[in-house]
Structure 1
């Protein structure tokens, strides 16, 4: 079946028996061993409140230190970066002077609002945490683009700042209307919102840091510096355990060293403000040290982007304690609800006519506010609700945050769900969609070819009253051609996303809920999306989720096309697909956005660089030459087939020229060109 599909999307070719693959292992970047930061035995007891510099300034300092160890081209890059940084610093200085003038003017005005500070506050409650969380989100929002620029590779795909911003904004949205001064309640809701909204590896680590902190203050109404310090230590521990192989010189190191230092300085006289002054001060210092630990940061002349994002968040927390006010005109709940414009077609209302029979049921989503007059909110049994939903439908997701319950269920009888929910609460939001229309729209949607009866049959979901099938597939894709290819190989739900658009944990949960299967195989297809997918898998309970560690759409496609869904054991299927990833070498070409020297490769702004795995292997002013050279490196070893996914920026002439040269240079290799339509990367290569 897989072979037929490939023939439908490329040139016919007889496929020889697979030979043992001698995989060319990409040479990893040599890292310096992580060393614990050595601190002097005694530091001055009096410490100035830190006025943080722009992260770009830190990068300039780092680049200056690195200038003596990199080659001449890299020095030129550092000089150009420093020039740009000076401009940013000048603008920042002017802004600070303007704010200083505004404060001076306000001081002369007898009617001016008095500045609120928390200099002598010994304990933190829920209201103060809410203000601090909002300040942290606003400070990161103001500097997210600077964090995005702290990209090791000089390609236009930096998104750490955006991922962390959207993650913390989801947390703030969850507490924006929460009227409680109970610290544990607010922190729990804040961390839960972040868990659901987490995007990218940095966002997941951030959410786990606050989730651990929330566990550290369970049952605590107010916390003094010692109690909150211990909670932060638990947050660091949970952040480390969330990563399969923790790497020092990253956000983990910045969090750990800052918390260790701040906790070590707590005394009976400490206040919440002194705790955060110390925390932010050491976070700043630790961030500067990250290039000393990771050579890839040192070569690129940047500090760790995740650590920078965490620094900005904690700096915002601290600014609130020091009296700075953050104005938010739009509101975080509104911002977090913003999504990319929906380009999907409207459902065809004719897909369900006067004589149609309801087969697929209704996708029912509810937001319910528990009512004291109807139930005991403190003892509300969410498991009992799930048990009821299981009697009327499937694809069930239900969870409670304080007095709000979120429900998702596929059911033939939504009226029963509505009536049951009215017994304990009132509706804040109701969404009911006829899945027969959704199915009709999917089958009749935009395709490059009319669906055959066989394809239509494969796409049909079973009735929602019972599990539709044993196996389902969810994949992250970008580009219409790639999305269609994945659907042709049995993908039930496509999560739109990629290098610069990382889906959230909640995006995965929503997709899981739309696949009525006992086992769901998930293809993140990006190393920066894997942790969000795994976090969603840990939360979801309506099916067994198997996350396949695919790092790009090419390797994910190979693993999916090799799957044998006729097997009874889902774990065996998952293991076989994971093993298939090990038989694949994948790479891509991308335009460079700055001068650099990385891994001994001299890169000029505007060059086309070739990347295999996480390593830059070449740079060439000519895109065609770079793509052809990268092909040779990818085909090293015993490879017999090459698939090339062409991006939206690759013209038909460029595709034809590259295909002709590859087939001429490597006549024994089966070559397939697929119009993927992906952004950023003109060509993605996958060799088997």
Structure 2
């Protein structure tokens, strides 16, 4: 267990935080009633953390084998969050990370428990400083409670992180008693809920609770779930955007401007709007404000410096379109995320547009959204073929729906489920009927795969060693074997025991046909009525994929 906060721990924290917020994204969106009930706080926090992770990961792939120090890692994470911050809560989260960076970047390489105490305190202070009119019962309150608990804790790094996390949970549960809009709606604060997930991820990271894959990740994060009893949505159906009603627009932009230009900018924006948050430093700022006159907000930025990446959202538009007019789209497209040339060819032949994914780096929400836009279709079905992409796809779909594109995400967990869905796809059907049919076909397909363990780790089937062959059935490690053929036979035996009509075998890159021949012979002995098809998938991620319909 680490006794210092260093760059690898920061990277683990960022990854766990992204996964935790992604897992809770829809819940957080449903809680969102303040400052504007637009239902996107979870999505905004996810996109902010996704940008932070994208900025941090390249530091761990240096050609000279030298990895970053704590300060460099925190600076990358905070800057990435600043550049990609979305919405009120995302902008404040970016400022919290910047506040932590101000302390940890001066630590000389690694942070101890005292450094974490000071970092959390500085983060909370920075958050309050960034908000023009701080309101209690929000993300800021949760951050302050976490910082106070950290300062009061006399233990080591793990104890300090745990104290901050537990205090954030208690503070979140108390938010309805601090903000009337939350009490009327019967919910806790959405931004605060997101921060609790981030602090829970920090506590897991410093405690060395590092996941061993998607299943272990879900299990590890489950320990830090919130159990608040809330009602999702406004109880009385009214707009609880705060005094004076809800402004018409949310305006966000990055701004290159000298520090001395900020007081005048803040004063001008405070005159024309509310929910004003300005974060950043060293000449780069992220500006967020709610206004009725979007042009005035942008003009204030021009007067201060150079605004860019300007995003204007009209709150009154049910589709949440941006100020830019969306392009016209028509027709229907199916986009399938795949690894391997053979699987890509099969999907293309079945009528899908393929998004090739790097097995070591899953696509971001921006990359998924870009693939959908390039299809230039008004209706799009997304086949993910990977359980880890659900949060990414959800965030991308929310953005695309705001552009007038109908998006249905079918959470296929394996390429064999994606192939089953494509087999029943009919572009001539009504969109909803097509989606239901494809979802049903995917859900009726049990899936399995063989994988090779990279190191010693605990699994559902026991402890495996490097080089062991793992047989996963429906995502769970069910068999640990010494060779592909023997392990594959055990996996098939267990799958066929539950019945089935069509078996699909997809061979990975470099896997010989003899493996398929051996498994086909077993099927003919055990269940001769089952039809079997074999494809050369070319995927590097798994030597063998199995589907049983």
Task: Give the TM-score normalised by structure 2.
Answer: 0.50
Aligned to 1:68: none
Aligned to 1:550: 412
Cα offsets for 1:28-74 (capped at 9, x unmatched): xxxxxxxxxxxxxxxxxxxxxx9437878xx9xxxxxxxxxxxxxxx
Q: Does the 8 Å CA contact 1:641/1:671 hold for their aligned counterparts?
A: yes
Question: Within 5 Å, which residues of 2 pair with 1:188-337?
Answer: 220-221=131-132, 229-230=140-141, 232=143, 257=166, 259-260=168-169, 304=220
Cα distance between partner residues in 1 of 2:134 and 2:480 = 54
Does the alignment pair 1:561 with 2:423? yes
Aligned to 1:508: 368
CA shift for structure 1 position 582: 2.5
Q: Does the 8 Å CA contact 2:485/2:519 hold for their aligned counterparts?
A: yes
Does the alignment pair 1:187 with 2:91? yes
Aligned to 2:382: 522
**For the structure 1 residues 605 and 572, does the alpha-carbon distance in structure 2 shift closer, same or farther, using more than 3 Å as the test?**
same
CA shift for structure 1 position 677: 0.7
Q: Secondary structure at the match of 2:387?
A: coil
Does the alignment pair 1:638 with 2:499? yes
CA shift for structure 1 position 232: 4.9
CA shift for structure 1 position 482: 0.7
Q: Does the 8 Å CA contact 1:640/1:670 hold for their aligned counterparts?
A: yes
Cα distance between partner residues in 2 of 1:546 and 1:304 = 29
Aligned to 1:575: 436
Number of residue pairs aligned between Structure 1 and Structure 2: 350
**For the structure 1 residues 502 and 305, does the alpha-carbon distance in structure 2 shift closer, same or farther, using more than 3 Å as the test?**
farther
Cα distance between partner residues in 1 of 2:469 and 2:373 = 41
Cα distance between partner residues in 2 of 1:472 and 1:529 = 19
Aligned to 2:179: none
**For the structure 1 residues 472 and 218, does the alpha-carbon distance in structure 2 shift closer, same or farther, using more than 3 Å as the test?**
farther
Q: Secondary structure at the match of 1:547?
A: strand
**For the structure 1 residues 144 and 169, does the alpha-carbon distance in structure 2 shift closer, same or farther, using more than 3 Å as the test?**
farther
CA shift for structure 1 position 595: 3.1
Cα distance between partner residues in 1 of 2:362 and 2:446 = 23
CA shift for structure 1 position 614: 2.5
Question: Within 5 Å, which residues of 2 pair with 1:81-96?
Answer: none
Cα distance between partner residues in 1 of 2:206 and 2:313 = 48
Question: Within 5 Å, which residues of 2 pair with 1:444-593?
Answer: 467-469=329-331, 471-491=332-352, 493-497=353-357, 500-540=360-400, 541-568=403-430, 570-593=431-454
Q: Does the 8 Å CA contact 1:505/1:532 hold for their aligned counterparts?
A: yes
Q: Does the 8 Å CA contact 1:144/1:165 hold for their aligned counterparts?
A: no
Cα distance between partner residues in 1 of 2:75 and 2:436 = 35
Does the alignment pair 1:171 with 2:33? no
Q: Secondary structure at the match of 2:388?
A: coil
**For the structure 1 residues 629 and 55, does the alpha-carbon distance in structure 2 shift closer, same or farther, using more than 3 Å as the test?**
same
**For the structure 1 residues 578 and 661, does the alpha-carbon distance in structure 2 shift closer, same or farther, using more than 3 Å as the test?**
same
CA shift for structure 1 position 675: 0.7
Q: Secondary structure at the match of 2:441?
A: helix
Q: Does the 8 Å CA contact 2:350/2:422 hold for their aligned counterparts?
A: yes
Q: Does the 8 Å CA contact 1:261/1:279 hold for their aligned counterparts?
A: no
Q: Structure 1: any 5+ residue segments left out of the alignment?
A: 1-49, 60-132, 146-163, 176-182, 192-212, 236-252, 265-277, 309-330, 332-368, 388-395, 410-465
2:5 aligns with one of 52, 55, 79: 52
Cα distance between partner residues in 1 of 2:473 and 2:361 = 21
Cα distance between partner residues in 1 of 2:351 and 2:456 = 42
Q: Does the 8 Å CA contact 1:521/1:545 hold for their aligned counterparts?
A: yes
Does the alignment pair 1:601 with 2:462? yes
Task: Give the TM-score normalised by structure 1.
Answer: 0.41
Cα offsets for 1:354-377 (capped at 9, x unmatched): xxxxxxxxxxxxxxx99959xx99
Cα distance between partner residues in 2 of 1:225 and 1:383 = 25
Q: Secondary structure at the match of 1:618?
A: strand
**For the structure 1 residues 616 and 399, does the alpha-carbon distance in structure 2 shift closer, same or farther, using more than 3 Å as the test?**
same
**For the structure 1 residues 587 and 255, does the alpha-carbon distance in structure 2 shift closer, same or farther, using more than 3 Å as the test?**
farther
